[in-house]
Structure 1
């Protein structure tokens, strides 16, 4: 049975720049959007807000849904990612 890992990610735009975070996967440093897995009893928006907070210290609510895409990790693990957009105002601090 097909059971993909459900994840969310945030494309964060502020002051003509995009926010990316550094993460380490299998000992290799990579750049990514703030992202992570959906937890039990959590909506997609709640997951996006939580991941943004955990990874950046920024509290913000996604304003737009961008897309959903399916992909396979190098080890053939299936993922289903929901991508959201966040436009930060200059007043947002972390």
Structure 2
């Protein structure tokens, strides 16, 4: 499985209870703050929170071009279970 497959699994399996907002960072180190997204095939379309320097609000990115995802809402480790994670962040979470 390549990294694109992993990101596709994350975005297509996004739990309804988890807000669709955060920051995606591409393999070219471009940070994309988003307030929503939709998926199609091998791509995700991010609805940016603010326009970029050229005025773009929506950006289409291949899953294979995503390097990391930052979830900005406070969540517990159990919120990541749909993505295949298990366990707790700490004994207090």
Q: Settle same-fold status: TM greater than 0.5.
A: no
Larger RCO (CA under 8 A, 6+ residues apart): 1
More helix by share: 2
TM-score normalized with structure 1 length = 0.31
More strand by share: 1
TM-score normalized with structure 2 length = 0.31
